[in-house]
Amino acid sequence: MDRILRKVARPGRYVGGEWNSIVKDWRENEVRLALAYPDVYEIGMSNFGLQILYDLLNRRDGIVAERCYAPWTDMEAELRKQGIPLFSLESRRPLADFDFVGFSLSYELIFTNVLNMLNLAGIPLLAAERDARHPLVIAGGSACYNAEPMADFFDLFAIGEGEEVILDLVELYRGAGGKGADRTALLRQAATIPGIYVPSLYRVTYSQDGTVKEVTPTAPEASPVITRRIVKALPPTPTMPIVPFMNVVHDRAMIEIQRGCTRGCRFCQAGMIYRPVRERSKEEILRTANELLANTGAEELSLVSLSTSDHSEIEGIVRELAARHPNLNISLPSLRIDSFSVALAESIQRRKTGLTFAPEAGTQRLRDVINKGVTEDDLLKTAEAAYGRGWSQIKLYFMIGLPTETMEDVEGIVDLARKVKSVGRRHQGHRAQVSVSVATLIPKPDSPFQWVGQERPETVRPKQEYLKQMLRGIRFSWHDPESSLLEAALSRGDRRMGKVVLRAWQMGCKFDAWSEHQKPDVWLQAFHDEGLDPAFYAYRQRSLDEVLPWDHIAGGITRKFVAREYERSAQGELTPDCRSGKCSACGLRQLGAGC
């Protein structure tokens, strides 16, 4: 290993031994889990969900939890050359030695990395080819709400929040006798755990038009519908997180101050699948912050939430944190478009580097379609407050390809960006900067736009070209239509998509989210080789009565609510945030999860 590490870039990705990492004695712990993130170390180390599970599992007697990340291409080449199987960072044991290998699937463009890691570990790619000698390969994360494209490769999926379901699974495994137990019997028992989906226990049939006809259980233990797990009270935030030796994407301490969002943006999967809203108390947050900073030496603290400024005690929290830790830089990653958010940021930011807001659409009509609940006046008043209080940079996030979008809506992006820049010039002169980032809508499962066909590249590109020309003097970034097509096809694919993923990996696809590794032509060839058309999955408008590949996985909110929101979008009707208005009947109350 020492010789190999001298040959690769960023060897700190592979050495382990970081401050607060946990090394347990394998002989004294009967269940061993490898927590795997299918991207490079500096991205995986920023995944808060894995931090939570690493801390939770290692606090338990009898359990070892270690980490593994996707090796970059130079390290992969050395591992293959030397015949070294992929290993965990803590003990450098091969992944194949673990009882469980658990992948976090947060994004569809990391699917081929999963196959690459399994292959490097010497673990059969297909679940059907594994036996009692092999670890159980499991997955969790937001991409599991449509598990079908990866169903061939995983023994089981944890649907929903993982803090409780992973412990249930470990206890079942212990009771069954651990490695060497009857694998089929174990999977059938696992299917009885709420939130566990065992795809091998379900049969998928298709209609003549290629759509899914039915997903049916083939074992009595398998439920016709798998309902996501929801933890009623947030577990304690890890207060001794691992401190990396190298820079990572989010190089800061983190506290999840709130989980869930009820603002109801219709394009947003996260706002639907992470309901209900659960807050940590101000006292818990302040106490946790003290421990975190003492245990890590962090100089920056991020208050994590889908909508941080919606926390009912946020003003008192940031005021108290700033008073207790005067040299601490506190980041609020998700701010509303209002002057209150600017005032919050001013009270805690030591360096006024920039603020980010997401109007999402360029006209009020289209913002109403997506239920954004923000007006142009809101944005301009916020810009006035930001530039007037000393900020010189504002970044704006927009989308194109939204339902009912016209060229007038795209022109509205230019108009809005120019107005914000004009406000900045009035307050900050030539120091004022505006940057605009425009993504293409990816219709996601369990969002009200799950039925919408993604806009095709031949109409997306002219909009992007128009924005490039008209936003001169404003920093502009956009998403490549080819990667958007792939993400949409994988997001809404059925079980047949697994053959495409396998074929693409066999032809060299990996790190598909990295621009230097994207191979759209290879992916198109993989679709062709397997007799499937990506346009069928990405661009096709679905009817409300079509059986969707993920209908047997219930995200907690009801199909009736999601369909109603889709219909309201066509009328441009707003649905108020149920935290401040009446209940929107999303279905969580029927689950006993509160709202």
Which pLDDT does position 218 carry in this prediction? 98
CB half-sphere exposure, 444, CA atoms < 13 A: 22
The backbone torsions φ and ψ at residue 357, rounded to the nearest 5 degrees and listed phi first, read -135, 155
Q: How many domains does the chain have?
A: 1
Specify whether the CB–CB gap between 113 and 511 falls below 8 A. yes
Residue 40 lies in a domain: no
Please give the span between the terminal C-alpha atoms of the chain, in angstroms, as a whole number: 51
Give the pTM.
0.95
Q: What span, in angstroms and rounded, lies between the C-alpha atoms of 200 and 595?
A: 33
CA distances for 8 relative to 14, 16, 43, 71, 197, angstroms: 10, 15, 18, 10, 39
Residues of the chain with pLDDT under 70: 349-352, 589-595
| Residue linked to tokens 């506190």 | 330
Residue 239 lies in a domain: no
Domain that holds residue 561: 253-479+557-570
Which pLDDT does position 250 carry in this prediction? 87
Residue type, position 358, single letter:
A
List Cβ neighbours of 184 (8 Å cut-off, separation of 6 or more): none
Q: Of 88, 113, 107, which is closest to residue 34 (Cα–Cα)?
A: 88
Residue 33 token pair: 């889990």
Residue type, position 23, single letter:
V
Residue 303 lies in a domain: yes
Residue 189 lies in a domain: no
Residue 440 lies in a domain: yes
Q: What span, in angstroms and rounded, lies between the C-alpha atoms of 563 and 566?
A: 5
Which pLDDT does position 332 carry in this prediction? 84
Residue 86 lies in a domain: no
Which pLDDT does position 56 carry in this prediction? 96
Residue 428 lies in a domain: yes
| Residue linked to tokens 């060497």 | 180
Q: Is 296 helix (H, G, I), strand (E, B) or coil?
A: helix
Question: Which residue pairs from 429-434 have beta carbons closer than 8 angstroms and sit at least 24 positions apart in sequence?
Answer: 431/392, 432/387, 432/392, 432/393, 433/354, 433/392, 433/393, 433/394, 433/475, 434/393, 434/394, 434/395, 434/396, 434/474, 434/475
Is the bond preceding residue 403 a cis peptide, omega within 30 degrees? no
Q: Which stretches of 69-221 are DSSP H helices? A: 73-82, 111-121, 162-176, 183-190
Give the strand pairing for 156-158 and 196-197. antiparallel
Residue 427 lies in a domain: yes
Residue 20 token pair: 């607060």
What CATH number did the domain enclosing 271 receive? 3.20.20.70
